[in-house]
Amino acid sequence: MNLNTLLIQSVAILGGLGLAVGVMLIVASRKFKVETNPLVDEIMSILPGANCGACGYAGCSDFAQRVVDDDAPIDGCPVGGFDVAKQIGGLMGQELTEGEREYPFVLCNGGVNCIDRFEYVGMEDCKAVMMLSDGEKGCNFGCMGRGTCVRACPFGAISIGEDKLPHINKNICTSCGLCISACPNGILVFAKESERVYIKCRSHDKGKDVKAACTVGCIACKICEKNCPVQAITVTDFLAEIDQSKCTACGICVEKCPQHTIELRGVP
Amino acid sequence: MADTSLFTIFMEGVFIKNFLLIQFLGLCSFVGVTKDVKSAAGMSGAVVFVMTMSSTASYLLYTYLLVPLKMEFLSLISFIVVIAALVQLVEFVVRKNIPSLYRSLGIYLPLISTNCAVLGAVLLNVRSDYGFAQSVLFGFAAGLGYTIVMLMMSAIRERSTLVNIPSAIKGLPQAFLIALMLSMAFVNYFWVIPI
């Protein structure tokens, strides 16, 4: 076989192969064509693609379809947050103003610091524990620590720590809010990163009852209220509350609280 | 045709000639898509599928077109063409008929069409002189080995986001260090076990 025939043959084979494959692909693309709105694909490419369902629709592609067809809100994706909403708004011709990123926050300091009224044996789920005379914990407002929020999180951002309380990994958390709606006792709330002082208790029991059940609950002693230089804290119905618009995160209440219920987050 | 038993080929594909940790093929996806288990699983599923399919197609192409014409030197370039076309075709079909599968595999399928691991499996088939069943099995086993390592790597990386890691090696360097340890374990472990 001389060089010329070899050359011609290789070109013919590769060319023929390319041609055959090309024709096949053209036919296939005609035959299997799927009509879609290009806007849906563009929105899909912006969305995070986690398919978590936090928007209330069946996955990201369904959400994208609904945004285009059925007037689903452009900021309906809590995972993507403001960036994604702004880009979708750009595509859909809608404007959006910025809000700050919020993360779930645990409104209970109890865990191992809270006494058990009885020994619970049964299904390891907060809702099941709740059904049995409001749970084993001495405090009706506290965290059960059975990890219903852990299982609700599609991203694996929550874990139950040594202290029997849920811990949220902010690097993984997408602020979808599924854990908040899953918690049967309302322990988890959304909190902004800039709101740094939080009262990690939501017990409205009298101080004496709280003290009997939990070493770290709010006993409504009003020390924080008296010491706050900007009057941001008020104790109502046996529970201290912080007015976040007044709070300067000076940390005085955190130091003064005899129960160590108040937490100063994100200390630099 | 090589007279290697199917079991040996299977174990070779999965462990001894593991594509990621021993042959170092397909490393872009090994580092790129292992940030969480879910996408690693999606990618691995697509790789298993494409490797099996392309092993089948390229065996037919090689044996019935290139060998009779004595054009074996064209195998590399023609395999690339066939694999890319095959992936594209599969994408069309899946998109039309199984939209849910397309949505979960969708972004990974085009990534694979030029993945060196797929081409590597096909070329190793040819080099080892495997028969039809052997080729298909090796493609499948190689995909399975890829899956195992991808799942291990992504699980480790997912867990390690919870740990305090020195900021100097956070991210990719850390991934490479994990890969190093995994690779050492694989090489040494399967070196000493004769199959």
pLDDT tens-place string over residues A15-24: 998 999 899 8
Mutate to test the interface with B, among A25, A47, A171 (most CBs of B within 10 A): A25
Phi and psi at residue A233, to the nearest 5°? -105, 130
Longest dimension (CA), chain A: 102
Domain that holds residue A77: 38-92
> Over 80: is that where the pLDDT of A56 sits?
no
% of residues, chain A, pLDDT over 70: 96
- In this prediction, residue B192 has a pLDDT band, given cuts at 50, 70 and 90, of low
* Mode of pairing for the β-strands spanning A188-192 and A197-199: unpaired
Q: What is the DSSP string of A156-197?
A: --EEE-TTSSEEE-TTT-----HHHHH-TT--EEEEETT--E
Q: How many domains does chain B have?
A: 1
Question: What pLDDT score does A47 carry?
Answer: 85
CATH of the domain at A254: 3.30.70.20
pLDDT digits (tens, 9 = 90+) for B86-144: 888 878 877 787 777 776 666 677 777 777 888 889 998 888 889 999 999 999 999 99
Average pLDDT estimate for B76-91: 86
Within 8 A by CB and 6+ apart from B188, the residues are none
**Which of A34-48, A210-224, B93-107, B159-173 bottoms out in mean pLDDT, i.e. has the lowest?**
B93-107
> Is the domain of A83 the same as that of A137?
no
- In this prediction, residue A268 has a pLDDT band, given cuts at 50, 70 and 90, of very low
Question: What pLDDT score does B1 carry?
Answer: 62
Question: What pLDDT score does B193 carry?
Answer: 61
Task: Say yes or no for a CB contact (<8 Å) between B69 and A21.
Answer: no
Task: Say yes or no for a CB contact (<8 Å) between B89 and A24.
Answer: yes
> Is the domain of A164 the same as that of A120?
yes
For Cα atoms A200, A203, A205, give the angle at the middle one, nearest 5 degrees: 150
Residues 105-164 of B with CB under 8 A from A: 107, 158, 161-162
> Over 60: is that where the pLDDT of A60 sits?
yes
> Over 80: is that where the pLDDT of B67 sits?
yes
A50 falls within a domain? yes
> Over 70: is that where the pLDDT of A1 sits?
no
Average pLDDT estimate for A141-147: 87
- In this prediction, residue A97 has a pLDDT band, given cuts at 50, 70 and 90, of low
Q: How far apart, in Å, are the Cα atoms of B103 and each of A49, A61, A62, B6?
A: 10, 8, 11, 34
> Over 70: is that where the pLDDT of A228 sits?
yes
Longest dimension (CA), chain B: 60
A29 falls within a domain? no
E strands present in chain A: 102-106, 158-160, 166-168, 188-192, 197-199, 233-236, 239-242, 262-264
Q: How many domains does chain A have?
A: 3
> Over 80: is that where the pLDDT of B194 sits?
no
A253 falls within a domain? yes
Domain that holds residue B41: 6-191
Question: What pLDDT score does B142 carry?
Answer: 93
> Over 70: is that where the pLDDT of A48 sits?
yes
- In this prediction, residue B155 has a pLDDT band, given cuts at 50, 70 and 90, of very high
> Is the domain of A149 the same as that of A107?
yes
ipTM of the complex: 0.70
Could you tell me the pTM of the whole model? 0.55
Q: Report the residue from B89, B95, B161 with minimal CB separation from A172.
A: B161
Task: Say yes or no for a CB contact (<8 Å) between A17 and B78.
Answer: yes
B156 falls within a domain? yes
Give the number of C-alpha atoms closer than 13 A to the C-alpha of residue A22, restricted to the C-beta side: 6
B1 falls within a domain? no
